[in-house]
Amino acid sequence: MKNSVKNSTFRVAFCGIIAALALVLMLLTSLVPIGTYAFPCFAGIFIAAVVIEYGWKWGLGVYAVVSVLSLFLAGDKEAVLYFIALFGYYPILKAVFEKHIKKKIILYLVKFAVFNAAAIASFYAAAFLLSISPEEYTLFGVYMPLAFLAFGNVFFLVYDFAVTVFVSQYIVRLRSKLFGRK
Protein backbone atom coordinates (compact mmCIF):
# COMPACT_ATOMS: atom_id res chain seq x y z
CA MET A 1 0.00 0.00 0.00
CA LYS A 2 2.78 2.42 0.88
CA ASN A 3 4.42 1.92 -2.53
CA SER A 4 1.15 2.51 -4.44
CA VAL A 5 0.54 5.75 -2.53
CA LYS A 6 4.07 6.87 -3.38
CA ASN A 7 3.53 6.03 -7.06
CA SER A 8 0.19 7.83 -7.28
CA THR A 9 1.60 10.85 -5.44
CA PHE A 10 4.52 11.01 -7.85
CA ARG A 11 2.14 10.64 -10.80
CA VAL A 12 0.00 13.57 -9.67
CA ALA A 13 3.09 15.66 -8.87
CA PHE A 14 4.70 14.91 -12.25
CA CYS A 15 1.50 15.83 -14.11
CA GLY A 16 1.16 18.99 -12.01
CA ILE A 17 4.72 20.06 -12.83
CA ILE A 18 4.19 19.45 -16.54
CA ALA A 19 0.92 21.39 -16.41
CA ALA A 20 2.66 24.25 -14.58
CA LEU A 21 5.49 24.37 -17.14
CA ALA A 22 3.01 24.39 -20.01
CA LEU A 23 0.94 27.10 -18.31
CA VAL A 24 4.02 29.28 -17.75
CA LEU A 25 4.75 29.05 -21.47
CA MET A 26 1.16 30.03 -22.24
CA LEU A 27 1.45 33.01 -19.87
CA LEU A 28 4.62 34.12 -21.65
CA THR A 29 2.74 34.43 -24.95
CA SER A 30 1.69 37.97 -24.12
CA LEU A 31 5.27 39.04 -23.32
CA VAL A 32 7.16 37.71 -26.34
CA PRO A 33 5.85 38.71 -29.81
CA ILE A 34 6.70 35.40 -31.53
CA GLY A 35 5.29 33.60 -28.51
CA THR A 36 1.81 33.56 -30.03
CA TYR A 37 2.94 30.75 -32.31
CA ALA A 38 5.97 29.21 -30.62
CA PHE A 39 4.89 28.85 -26.99
CA PRO A 40 1.69 26.85 -27.62
CA CYS A 41 3.84 24.41 -29.61
CA PHE A 42 6.35 24.03 -26.79
CA ALA A 43 3.60 23.77 -24.18
CA GLY A 44 2.03 20.91 -26.12
CA ILE A 45 5.33 19.09 -26.45
CA PHE A 46 5.61 18.91 -22.64
CA ILE A 47 2.38 16.90 -22.57
CA ALA A 48 4.14 14.17 -24.57
CA ALA A 49 6.14 13.29 -21.43
CA VAL A 50 2.90 12.62 -19.54
CA VAL A 51 1.64 10.41 -22.37
CA ILE A 52 4.90 8.43 -22.36
CA GLU A 53 4.83 7.84 -18.62
CA TYR A 54 1.15 7.49 -17.79
CA GLY A 55 -0.83 7.17 -21.02
CA TRP A 56 -3.15 9.29 -23.10
CA LYS A 57 -5.85 9.65 -20.43
CA TRP A 58 -3.47 11.45 -18.08
CA GLY A 59 -2.23 13.47 -21.04
CA LEU A 60 -5.81 14.58 -21.75
CA GLY A 61 -6.18 15.60 -18.12
CA VAL A 62 -3.08 17.79 -18.28
CA TYR A 63 -4.24 19.22 -21.61
CA ALA A 64 -7.65 20.08 -20.10
CA VAL A 65 -6.10 21.76 -17.05
CA VAL A 66 -3.70 23.85 -19.12
CA SER A 67 -6.46 24.77 -21.58
CA VAL A 68 -8.88 25.99 -18.91
CA LEU A 69 -6.25 27.86 -16.92
CA SER A 70 -4.86 29.43 -20.10
CA LEU A 71 -8.32 30.70 -21.01
CA PHE A 72 -8.54 32.53 -17.71
CA LEU A 73 -4.93 33.59 -17.16
CA ALA A 74 -3.11 34.00 -20.48
CA GLY A 75 -3.19 37.42 -22.09
CA ASP A 76 -2.84 36.27 -25.71
CA LYS A 77 -6.15 34.59 -26.54
CA GLU A 78 -5.01 33.79 -30.06
CA ALA A 79 -2.22 31.64 -28.62
CA VAL A 80 -4.73 29.96 -26.31
CA LEU A 81 -6.88 29.20 -29.34
CA TYR A 82 -3.89 27.57 -31.08
CA PHE A 83 -3.11 25.52 -27.99
CA ILE A 84 -6.69 24.33 -27.54
CA ALA A 85 -7.36 23.79 -31.25
CA LEU A 86 -4.24 21.75 -32.03
CA PHE A 87 -0.93 22.03 -30.23
CA GLY A 88 -2.18 20.96 -26.82
CA TYR A 89 -3.74 17.68 -27.85
CA TYR A 90 -1.63 16.83 -30.90
CA PRO A 91 1.15 15.05 -28.95
CA ILE A 92 -1.56 12.83 -27.42
CA LEU A 93 -3.08 12.06 -30.82
CA LYS A 94 0.36 11.50 -32.32
CA ALA A 95 1.08 8.78 -29.76
CA VAL A 96 -2.26 7.08 -30.42
CA PHE A 97 -1.93 7.38 -34.22
CA GLU A 98 1.62 6.04 -34.30
CA LYS A 99 0.67 3.12 -32.09
CA HIS A 100 -2.30 2.03 -34.19
CA ILE A 101 -1.56 3.12 -37.77
CA LYS A 102 1.36 1.19 -39.23
CA LYS A 103 1.35 2.41 -42.85
CA LYS A 104 3.33 5.65 -43.09
CA ILE A 105 1.30 7.17 -45.91
CA ILE A 106 -1.99 6.65 -44.09
CA LEU A 107 -0.41 7.89 -40.86
CA TYR A 108 0.67 11.16 -42.49
CA LEU A 109 -2.65 11.57 -44.30
CA VAL A 110 -4.48 11.28 -40.97
CA LYS A 111 -2.04 13.66 -39.25
CA PHE A 112 -2.41 16.28 -41.98
CA ALA A 113 -6.19 15.87 -42.02
CA VAL A 114 -6.28 16.62 -38.29
CA PHE A 115 -4.00 19.62 -38.71
CA ASN A 116 -5.95 21.09 -41.63
CA ALA A 117 -9.29 20.60 -39.90
CA ALA A 118 -7.94 22.29 -36.76
CA ALA A 119 -6.35 25.14 -38.72
CA ILE A 120 -9.49 25.84 -40.73
CA ALA A 121 -11.71 25.63 -37.64
CA SER A 122 -9.35 27.99 -35.77
CA PHE A 123 -9.45 30.48 -38.63
CA TYR A 124 -13.24 30.56 -38.74
CA ALA A 125 -13.50 30.68 -34.94
CA ALA A 126 -11.09 33.61 -34.77
CA ALA A 127 -12.82 35.40 -37.65
CA PHE A 128 -16.22 34.91 -36.01
CA LEU A 129 -15.08 35.91 -32.52
CA LEU A 130 -13.22 38.97 -33.80
CA SER A 131 -15.93 39.86 -36.38
CA ILE A 132 -13.50 40.19 -39.27
CA SER A 133 -14.96 40.28 -42.76
CA PRO A 134 -13.50 37.92 -45.39
CA GLU A 135 -12.48 40.87 -47.63
CA GLU A 136 -9.93 41.95 -45.05
CA TYR A 137 -7.97 38.76 -45.66
CA THR A 138 -7.16 39.63 -49.27
CA LEU A 139 -3.80 41.22 -50.02
CA PHE A 140 -2.91 42.18 -53.62
CA GLY A 141 -5.61 39.85 -54.89
CA VAL A 142 -4.28 36.86 -52.92
CA TYR A 143 -6.53 35.27 -50.32
CA MET A 144 -3.99 35.10 -47.51
CA PRO A 145 -5.55 32.31 -45.41
CA LEU A 146 -4.80 29.85 -48.21
CA ALA A 147 -1.16 30.97 -48.28
CA PHE A 148 -0.99 30.67 -44.49
CA LEU A 149 -2.53 27.20 -44.65
CA ALA A 150 0.09 26.09 -47.19
CA PHE A 151 2.86 27.47 -44.97
CA GLY A 152 1.14 25.94 -41.95
CA ASN A 153 1.33 22.47 -43.50
CA VAL A 154 5.10 22.83 -43.91
CA PHE A 155 5.37 24.10 -40.33
CA PHE A 156 3.23 21.21 -39.11
CA LEU A 157 5.63 18.71 -40.69
CA VAL A 158 8.49 20.39 -38.82
CA TYR A 159 6.42 20.39 -35.60
CA ASP A 160 5.65 16.69 -35.96
CA PHE A 161 9.37 16.01 -36.35
CA ALA A 162 10.14 18.21 -33.31
CA VAL A 163 7.71 16.21 -31.17
CA THR A 164 9.40 13.01 -32.32
CA VAL A 165 12.84 14.40 -31.44
CA PHE A 166 11.61 15.57 -28.03
CA VAL A 167 10.15 12.15 -27.27
CA SER A 168 13.39 10.43 -28.29
CA GLN A 169 15.54 12.80 -26.22
CA TYR A 170 13.20 12.55 -23.26
CA ILE A 171 13.42 8.75 -23.28
CA VAL A 172 17.21 8.69 -23.78
CA ARG A 173 18.28 11.56 -21.50
CA LEU A 174 15.61 12.44 -18.94
CA ARG A 175 13.51 9.37 -18.25
CA SER A 176 16.21 7.41 -16.47
CA LYS A 177 17.03 10.44 -14.30
CA LEU A 178 13.41 11.06 -13.35
CA PHE A 179 12.14 7.52 -12.99
CA GLY A 180 15.25 5.32 -12.89
CA ARG A 181 14.14 3.40 -15.99
CA LYS A 182 14.60 3.45 -19.74
CATH number for 54: 1.10.1760.20
Q: Does residue 92 register a pLDDT over 70? A: yes
Average of pLDDT values for 28-40? 87
Q: Rounded to whole angstroms, how far apart are CA atoms 175 and 169?
A: 9
122-131: long-range contacts, CB 8 A cutoff, minimum separation 24:
122/81, 122/82, 122/85, 122/86, 125/81, 125/85, 126/78, 126/81
Mean pLDDT of the chain: 88
Overall domain count for the chain: 1
Domain that holds residue 113: 2-179
Q: What is the pLDDT of residues 122-175, one digit of tens each?
A: 888 777 776 777 667 666 666 677 888 899 899 999 999 999 999 999 988 888
pTM above 0.75, yes or no: yes
